[in-house]
Amino acid sequence: MSTQTLLRERPALSHTGAHWATGADLGVLADVFDETVTIAIMQRQLDSAMRVSIAAQCAAQPWQLSWRGAPDTTLEQALIRSMPAPQQADAVVSDVRLLAEAMACLFDVDAVGIRMRLLDGAMCPRFHCDNLPVRLVTTYSGPGSEWVPEVALNRAGLGKPLPGKPELVRDIGAIRQLAAGDVCLLKGSGWVGNEERGIVHRSPAVAAGHTRLLLTIDPEFS
């Protein structure tokens, strides 16, 4: 089944929260176009072939790939060249290409920007919102990204901590965390009409001696 078909077969929008949508299929990502939605999450369980492929790429020192272009065979070749265990990379490479194709299809772009990193620490540990239209994020291994429902936020607390600035998160018990394998679209403040509602999120803490394999994909708008 093609990426386009998977995206089209999404049923009518069904919210599980005030501004988020979740589902078990790729089509849920299209819900990000609803003006009320600031995060769309595809919840999934990684199969055994994916877990073996991921584990092989995590059995190394931290590494990273930055790449821009069309989501075609050149992307696959770049991924294989960059991965520490290319002989066991097929499942991961196929998944990255599928997600890259989904982004290109959803946002009608010819190219995407990809970053894939094996991290041994939090990349953006402070809660923030991105000043860009939208970003796909998935954690293949390790703790997933954390995000905060709007009702638990005081947006006056965004930015660098300063004396007298209020706490950003009103209720730390409301913080949500994505599971490894979940795929989400984060709508940022650069999305027209969403300037004051960019989803607030952060990188999770990574325990000493552990790693996190993270993929982000941005549509390359002309």
Q: Average pLDDT for consecutive 10-residue bins of the chain (222 residues)?
A: 54 62 93 95 96 96 94 96 95 98 96 95 81 97 95 91 89 95 97 95 89 96 82
Distance CA 83, CA 58 (A): 9
> Measured between alpha carbons, how far is 23 from 148 in angstroms, rounded to an integer?
18
Per residue in 92-150, pLDDT (tens digit) is 999 999 999 999 999 999 999 999 999 987 667 889 999 999 999 999 999 999 999 99
Q: Which pair of tokens denotes residue 65?
A: 């790939």
DSSP letter at 16 equals S
Hey, what domains does the chain have and what are their CATH numbers?
A: 3-155+167-219 (2.60.120.10)
How far apart are alpha carbons 218 and 25 in whole angstroms?
20
Q: What is the pLDDT of residue 9?
A: 53
The angle formed by the CA atoms of residues 187, 115 and 197, to the nearest 5 degrees, is 15
C-alpha 183 chain-centroid distance: 6
- Count Cβ atoms below 10 Å from residue 133 Cβ, excluding itself: 19
Residue type at position 49: A
Q: What is the pLDDT of residue 122?
A: 62
Contacts of 70 (CB under 8 A, 6+ apart): 104, 110, 111, 112
- The pTM of the full predicted model, rounded to 2 decimals, is 0.91
Give the pLDDT score at 12: 46
User: What is the β-pairing status of strands 20-23 and 39-42?
Assistant: parallel
**φ and ψ at 173, to 5 degrees?**
-70, -15
pLDDT of residue 167: 92
